């Protein structure tokens, strides 16, 4: 008897469940196998995922695939890890979760990638097509839920569409302004007969992006630069995404113009470059903020005039300046600040063209003013004999090799890292900027370490943030990832406490983390070595020990809850209303 035929007959019997049909389909070339084949052809080496009932066929097929599957301990972590992997490797990150709770757990991670324009393909299991819309077990409408936080999404209804959809998803995620693309995969589609034809090209009529900027607008911008007396470059994450660091450096060195960066733009120019005035915005340097306020020409490259920079006060931001805005996403032009000279295009290509046309403006008096501000308002801190967080970051910079990657969580520690770690290159400083997601750090450090297995990866975190993804210590151990965790342990939700202290007259509300574990002991329970440090003299020894110890390591630095991040421009105040303040 023809067994396969018989199985097919049985599978059509209404009494036979989809589960039975799925296991009968295991031997055929099904949607799951087609999916993995096309992912392989897209060059995917790693998937961060978490299994479940809707993905049984896919996890079965994974056993025969060359793709390596990494199992974090939470689906949110799978997205953060894929996100950081993409930020560091420059490839599209891939993550996977089952239907319902698995997919829903990914929402914060997807929003995080969306806000920072990171290319991630998210694969979610879904209930079988005949159950869609029936509130069936573990059903959520994940394409609906994530509509505003994805660049695009697909619900696959025919297994034969899988190769085309995957090809399109990678193309959309990784081109133009990058972002997350979700593919929802119903259970029966994963088990259904599929096609192994892989399209060589993407044909998407409705998806277009500009790469080359308009030559006339670039010429106009170069003319404006040559005539300006007080120009400033405002560089963002777009510079790094388009790998325009060299173009930026060539331009600002040729024309000798000062540069400020956003949080996402850290690394677009080495922090030690003489033209670098530091980060701009809420916790930026005073000089960077005064420069924006005073400049007559603002050359904004790959930025979105985020309210962390503008304080949400567009009528008070760079009011004396002619604005040149270079961005690949036309929707960003004029969204917040009106651009006098808009240039839609890829920053790298635009800057190459700009360089050819640029001539240096006469700006010696401007530089004298900037240098005077830098002298008057240096970014520093007063060592007070205690363990100041800034010291730790300076020591990390001194002791770590140049190819080190620094991943941060969210809070005061993030801002101290942005201010005091000497970042020398693009893709070295990985942080959750737009969404500000506590709990991003540890899974992101995992993704970063997978992207660059031979480089030192530091995670700078806080006791609040770390506890939002502490379970990922197990993942670091399981995959022998030698991440060095630098914990700034102040016993409080420091950044919120700081705002309550400064803006709410020290009326502290719900910021005390009273039942913190002993983090060194906790790490030890996972098999991770660690040290606790509470005085400045121990910093160097602890960091050296962490770096030299094989495998993951935690240094638990006890810092005072009274430490504050300065300067501080409170939200809703003009960027010149900077609190320098005393601690």
Rounded least distance, CB 414 to ligand TPP, Å: 7
Rounded least distance, CB 489 to ligand TPP, Å: 8
Rounded least distance, CB 108 to ligand TPP, Å: 7
Compute CA 24 distance to the chain's CA centroid, rounded to the nearest angstrom.
41
Count how many Cα atoms sit within 13 Å of the Cα of residue 82 in the half-sphere of its side chain: 40
Beta-carbon count within 10 A of 9 CB:
11
The verdict on 111 binding ligand TPP (CB under 6 A) reads no
Rounded least distance, CB 470 to ligand TPP, Å: 11
Asked if 504 is an active-site residue, the reply is no
Which tokens hold the place of 237?
Answer: 């994450």
In Å, what is the CA distance from 417 to each residue of 410, 432, 460?
10, 13, 7
Output 189 or 446, the one with its CB closest to ligand TPP. 446
Catalytic residue among 33, 48, 126, 138: 138
Output 128 or 412, the one with its CB closest to ligand TPP. 412
Rounded least distance, CB 185 to ligand TPP, Å: 28
Catalytic residue among 332, 495, 500, 519: 495
The verdict on 490 binding ligand TPP (CB under 6 A) reads yes
Output 56 or 433, the one with its CB closest to ligand TPP. 433
Rounded least distance, CB 389 to ligand TPP, Å: 8
Output 116 or 352, the one with its CB closest to ligand TPP. 116
Q: For residue 79, give the nearest of 165, 159, 150 by alpha carbon.
A: 150
Beta-carbon count within 10 A of 157 CB:
11
# residues contacting ligand TPP (CB under 6 A): 20
Catalytic residue among 137, 147, 362, 368: 137
Q: Which of residues 410-469 bind ligand TPP (CB under 6 A)?
A: 410-413, 436-439, 462-465
User: Roughly what angle, to the nearest 10 degrees, separates helices 412-420 and 494-503?
Assistant: 90
Q: For residue 397, give the nearest of 495, 557, 270, 265 by alpha carbon.
A: 270
Beta-carbon count within 10 A of 517 CB:
12
Among residues 25, 232, 391, 488, the one that binds ligand TPP under rule CB under 6 A: 488
For ligand TPP, which stretch binds (CB under 6 A), given 131-139, 222-230, 375-383, 491-499?
491-499
Q: For residue 182, give the nearest of 123, 138, 139 by alpha carbon.
A: 123
Catalytic residue among 33, 151, 187, 484: 187
Output 154 or 458, the one with its CB closest to ligand TPP. 458
Output 247 or 439, the one with its CB closest to ligand TPP. 439
Q: Are 324 and 340 in contact (CB under 8 A)?
A: yes
Q: Are 46 and 70 in contact (CB under 8 A)?
A: yes
Among residues 496, 502, 520, 531, the one that binds ligand TPP under rule CB under 6 A: 496
Output 146 or 465, the one with its CB closest to ligand TPP. 465
DSSP 531-576: EEE-SGGGHHHHHHHHHHSSS-EEEEEE--TT---SSB--TTS-TT
Place of tokens 């430490």: 563
Rounded least distance, CB 437 to ligand TPP, Å: 5
Catalytic residue among 21, 22, 42, 75: 75
Q: For residue 232, give the nearest of 348, 329, 369 by alpha carbon.
A: 369
Distance, in Å, from the CA atom of 413 to the CA atom of 357, rounded to the nearest integer, reads 42
Torsion of CA 492, 494, 496, 499, to 10 degrees: 130
Output 257 or 282, the one with its CB closest to ligand TPP. 282
The verdict on 263 binding ligand TPP (CB under 6 A) reads no
Q: Three-state SS string across 336-353, please?
A: CCCCCEEEECCHHHHHHH
Q: Are 409 and 441 in contact (CB under 8 A)?
A: yes
Output 228 or 489, the one with its CB closest to ligand TPP. 489
Asked if 187 is an active-site residue, the reply is yes
Asked if 137 is an active-site residue, the reply is yes
Asked if 415 is an active-site residue, the reply is no
Asked if 500 is an active-site residue, the reply is no
Among residues 269, 379, 391, 495, the one that binds ligand TPP under rule CB under 6 A: 495
385-399 burial, b at 16+ Cβ within 10 Å, e below that, comes to eebbbbbbbbbbbee
- Alpha helices (runs of H) in 295-424, residue ranges in sequence order: 307-310, 347-357, 364-376, 389-399, 412-420
Binding mask 370-409 for ligand TPP (x = CB under 6 A): ---------------------------------------x
Rounded least distance, CB 496 to ligand TPP, Å: 5
For ligand TPP, which stretch binds (CB under 6 A), given 8-16, 230-238, 242-250, 494-502?
494-502
Rounded least distance, CB 583 to ligand TPP, Å: 15
Q: What residues line the site for ligand TPP (CB under 6 A)?
A: 409-413, 436-439, 462-465, 488, 490, 492-496
Catalytic machinery residues: 75, 137-138, 187, 495
């Amino acid at each position: 008897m023809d067994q396969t035929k018989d199985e097919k007959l049985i599978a059509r019997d209404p009494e036979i469940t989809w589960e039975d049909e799925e296991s009968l389909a295991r031997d055929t070339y099904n949607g799951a196998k087609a999916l993995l084949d096309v992912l392989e052809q897209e060059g995917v080496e790693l998937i961060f995922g978490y299994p479940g009932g809707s993905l049984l066929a896919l996890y079965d097929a994974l056993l025969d695939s060359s793709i390596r599957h990494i199992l974090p301990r939470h689906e949110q972590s799978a997205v953060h890890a894929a996100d950081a992997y993409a930020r560091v490797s420059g490839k599209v990150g891939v993550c996977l979760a089952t239907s319902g709770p698995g997919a829903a757990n990914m929402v914060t991670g997807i929003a995080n990638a969306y806000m920072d324009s990171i290319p991630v393909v998210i694969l979610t299991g879904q209930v079988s097509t005949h159950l869609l819309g029936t509130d069936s077990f573990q059903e959520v409408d994940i394409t609906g839920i994530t509509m505003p936080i994805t660049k695009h999404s697909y619900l696959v209804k025919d297994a034969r569409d899988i190769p085309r959809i995957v090809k399109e998803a990678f193309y959309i995620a990784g081109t133009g302004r990058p972002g997350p693309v979700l593919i929802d995969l119903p259970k029966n589609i994963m088990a259904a007969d599929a096609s192994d034809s892989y399209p060589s090209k993407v044909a998407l009529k409705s998806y277009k992006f500009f790469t080359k900027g308009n030559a006339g607008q670039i010429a106009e911008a170069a003319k404006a630069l040559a005539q300006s007396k007080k120009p400033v470059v405002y560089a963002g994450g777009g510079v790094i995404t388009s790998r325009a660091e060299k173009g930026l450096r060539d331009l600002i060195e040729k024309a000798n113009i000062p540069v400020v960066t956003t949080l996402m733009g850290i690394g677009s120019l080495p922090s030690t470059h003489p033209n670098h005035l530091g980060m701009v915005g809420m916790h930026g340097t005073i000089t960077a903020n005064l420069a924006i306020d005073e400049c007559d020409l603002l050359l904004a490259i790959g930025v979105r005039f985020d309210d962390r920079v503008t304080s949400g006060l567009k009528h008070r931001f760079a009011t004396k300046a002619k604005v040149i805005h270079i961005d690949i996403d036309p929707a960003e032009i004029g969204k917040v600040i009106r651009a006098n000279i808009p240039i839609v295009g890829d920053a790298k290509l635009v800057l190459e063209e700009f360089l050819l046309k640029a001539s240096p403006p006469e700006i010696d008096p401007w530089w004298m003013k900037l240098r005077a501000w830098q002298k008057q308002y240096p970014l520093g801190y007063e060592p007070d004999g205690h363990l100041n967080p800034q010291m730790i970051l300076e020591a990390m910079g001194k002791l770590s090799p140049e190819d080190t990657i620094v991943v941060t969580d969210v809070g005061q520690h993030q801002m101290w890292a942005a201010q005091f770690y000497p970042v020398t290159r693009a893709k070295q400083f990985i942080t959750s900027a737009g969404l500000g997601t506590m709990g991003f750090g540890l899974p992101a450090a995992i993704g970063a370490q997978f992207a660059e297995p031979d480089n030192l990866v530091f995670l700078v975190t806080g006791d609040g943030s770390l506890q939002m993804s502490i379970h990922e210590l197990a993942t670091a151990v399981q995959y022998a990832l030698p991440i060095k965790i630098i914990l700034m342990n102040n016993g409080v939700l420091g950044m919120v406490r700081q705002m309550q202290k400064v803006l709410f007259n020290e009326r502290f509300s719900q910021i005390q983390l009273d039942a913190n574990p002993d983090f060194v002991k906790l790490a030890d329970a996972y098999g991770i070595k660690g040290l606790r440090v509470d005085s400045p003299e121990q910093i160097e020894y602890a960091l050296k020990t962490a770096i030299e110890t094989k495998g993951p390591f935690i240094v638990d630095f006890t810092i005072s809850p009274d430490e504050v991040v300065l300067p501080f421009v409170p939200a809703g105040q003009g960027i010149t209303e900077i609190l320098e303040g005393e601690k």
